Amino acid sequence: LRHHNKEPPQIEKNVDMKYQTGLSGEAISGYLSEVLPSKNCVVIHIVDLSDMSQDSFIPNITKVVGTNPVLFVGTKVDLLPSGWKLQRLKLWLQQHVKDYCGLKQLPLTHVHIVSARSGQNVKPTMKNIDVFRNGRDVYIIGPVNSGKSSFINSALIHVGIGGIKYDKKYGLTTSNLPGTTLDAISMPLKAGGHLHDTPGFQVQNVLPSLITPERKLLISRKAIRPRIVYMREGKTILMGGLARLDYVRGPPLYFAVFGSTTVDIHYTSLDGADRMLGTKLGTFLTPPILFSEEELKKEMERADEYTKKLYKFLPKSEQPPQATETESVTKDSEDDANDVDVDVDDDIDDGIDAESRYDLELHRDGKINDVVESVQENYPSEYDEGKTLIDMLNEQRPVPLPPEYEETTFTFEQGGEDFDCAFTDFVYPGVGWISATGKSQEKLVFRASGFSKPFIREPIMPLESDRTHRKTRGYHKHGKLSNYQYSCEYEKE
């Protein structure tokens, strides 16, 4: 599991780092604060630029590392739209690291932007790390699925670390599933010292509650292409069934939606959004996906098959206990009792125009499309028995979703200075973000909600809704393509 079942002799389990994946950032912060200050090392903190929040950083980082230098590396820059600029991104990351970690000073030489997949900026980053290292140990820390092992693999392949270069087939195991690195791994370096890859800590987002087909829809593998919408007050943007942004009060603005292209974006009214979330969550609004009885059984069979392959390579002491025959019979009886027969209702009244519906087949591959097509459009009321759609969704997953959306209201005394630069990002951890662009001297009110607690930040890609991009790409006006010529009074000022 750790090295594609081809573990080279140079890589070994770090017995000094006695923690495994699955811990919170605070728990790992307390543990590392007892270990790292007494060591002579360099700490590399990895963060995912496409999904960054305050939970992505180790709390009290200065107390954790002691007097050792810490460098911050933003990964997965290849997932951002092509308009990003290196210097602006470094300044943006520097400011947010200082705010989130409570640092008074952070030199720009301690901040790096890389792409582990393409190797972009990996070589200058490793040269800078070697300057700080000078024969000392290197510790790689960061949240789960932030690209720590991928960064190490990329450095070993493109540059080498400490005089060592590995072939790609002997790299550390990586995947789009969180928690792939089970425990700390050490790698001796010829120039002295060791390289330590540590398990990631958990962050507060919706990903742990999603199962594999839903994660495949949500996790981007290509550069994000923002979808632009021109929206007036009283309208709503829905990112599948996971996030929602209500525009409560203010003049017309442009919104750029950043997220996986396999997640459908819906534009509707406030009442229409309430009606859709109450009746179409998990069916028309996906992810999450409300599986039919047949598809749920197939998904459980896939999970059992994967689990058997997974534990095949682990010691017997780490394998889960086998269920007895009595327990199996009891489990089957419970499953039969929970089975619900449903009918398909093709008459969908969701409160939005037909043009605003995206065709699921345009965005999903064959396997995921088969799953989504098998999902029933609506559950008849006689089968609900007082259960909400979230209750039905939670019956099908090991880690339940929150019982309701977490809602936050954001108020701005005024908007941006023009219609070319965004003035804020509404961020939904694990899902994506929405940037707002527009000129206004009036008070603006937004209501953001989702299964992950939303927050606002300075925009990471502020120019994606400027005039050039709006004209070349077109944009959606209330769910329809429009050639609006910027004739509103706010544009004339």
Distance from the Cα of residue 7 to its chain's centroid: 29
Within 339-447, where are the H helices?
366-374, 389-394
What whole-number distance in Å separates Cα of residue 269 and Cα of residue 232?
A: 10
pTM of the model: 0.76
What separation in angstroms does the CA of 367 have from each of 281, 282, 337, 358, 453? 21, 17, 28, 18, 30
Check: CB of residue 132 under 8 Å from CB of residue 42. Answer: yes
What separation in angstroms does the CA of 324 have from each of 275, 311, 330? 45, 18, 10
Candidates 351, 368, 404, 373; CA nearest to 260 is: 368
pLDDT at residue 412, rounded to an integer: 96
Could you tell me the two tokens for 433? 């973000």
pLDDT at residue 263, rounded to an integer: 93
Q: Find tokens 């599991």 and name the residue.
A: 1
Do the bridges between strand 475-477 and strand 227-231 make them parallel or antiparallel, or are there none, so unpaired? parallel
pLDDT at residue 179, rounded to an integer: 43
Element containing residue 28 per DSSP (H, E): helix 25-35
Could you tell me the two tokens for 276? 């859709």
Candidates 172, 303, 254; CA nearest to 476 is: 254
Check: CB of residue 231 under 8 Å from CB of residue 268. Answer: no
Check: CB of residue 70 under 8 Å from CB of residue 103. Answer: no
Length, in residues, of the chain: 493
b/e map 116-150, b = 16+ CB within 10 Å: bbeebbbeebbeebbebbeebbbbbbbbbbbbbbb
Stretches in the chain below the pLDDT threshold 70: 1-22, 158-184, 190-191, 303, 306-386, 471-493
Burial status of residue 322 (CB atoms within 10 A of its CB: 0-12, 13-18, 19 or more): exposed
What whole-number distance in Å separates Cα of residue 379 and Cα of residue 483?
A: 39
pLDDT at residue 330, rounded to an integer: 43
pLDDT at residue 477, rounded to an integer: 55
Candidates 191, 256, 294; CA nearest to 421 is: 256
Give me the residues paired with residue 144 across strands: none
Q: What is the 3-state secondary structure (H, E, C) of 258-302?
A: EECCCCCEEEEEHHHHHHHHHHCECCCECCCCCCCHHHHHHHHHH
Please tell me whether residue 387 adopts helix, strand or coil conformation.
Answer: coil
Phi-psi region of 338 (alpha: psi -120 to 50; beta: other; left: phi over 0): alpha
Give me the residues paired with residue 10 across strands: none
Give me the residues paired with residue 432 across strands: 259, 428
The number of C-alpha atoms within 13 Å of 26 and in the hemisphere containing its C-beta is: 1
What whole-number distance in Å separates Cα of residue 101 and Cα of residue 62?
A: 8
Q: How is residue 425 annotated by DSSP? A: E
